[in-house]
Amino acid sequence: MHKIKVETAGPREIVDVTASVSRLLREIGVMKGVCHLFVPHTTAGITINENTDPNVRHDMLQALERMVPAGGEYRHAEGNAAAHILASIIGSSTMAFVENGKLVLGAWQAIYLCEFDGPRTRTVLIRVLPG
């Protein structure tokens, strides 16, 4: 298992980690397989989405805020209940294929760490199963 660290800067943000994952794949020399990515945090998630128009990330955050407002009436004592809910909606894992040492993503896709309770230092755990 491998890991990358991600420093987030704001309370809610979507950070492109594709380059970091690609760099790790090159370092470990994986040519073909399945790349599993897992975020071991209850207030962050990971997803794959468009990387061409930065407005997509903005729109995603706006839609999530409407669905689960940060200032909603929640019972969780730590004050970050919305972050827990959003992390569950986005999910804690994703996967991508690896071919010829490179991630197999669509032309406009990237891998994103989704921060919902930052700023923090986050970890993305990565395991590549050869295939």
Q: What is the pLDDT of residue 131?
A: 82
**How is the beta sheet containing 33-38 ordered, strand by strand?**
2-7, 121-130, 33-38, 93-99, 102-104
Q: What is the pLDDT of residue 77?
A: 80
End-to-end distance of the chain based on CA atoms, in angstroms?
A: 16
Window from 71-75, 81-85, 104-108 with minimum mean pLDDT: 71-75
Distance (Å, whole) CA 93 – CA 34: 13
- Flag whether pLDDT at 84 surpasses 90: yes
Distance (Å, whole) CA 90 – CA 87: 5
Q: What is the pLDDT of residues 4-61, one digit of tens each?
A: 999 999 999 999 999 999 999 999 999 999 999 999 999 999 999 999 998 999 999 9
Domains observed in the chain: 2-130 (2.60.120.460)
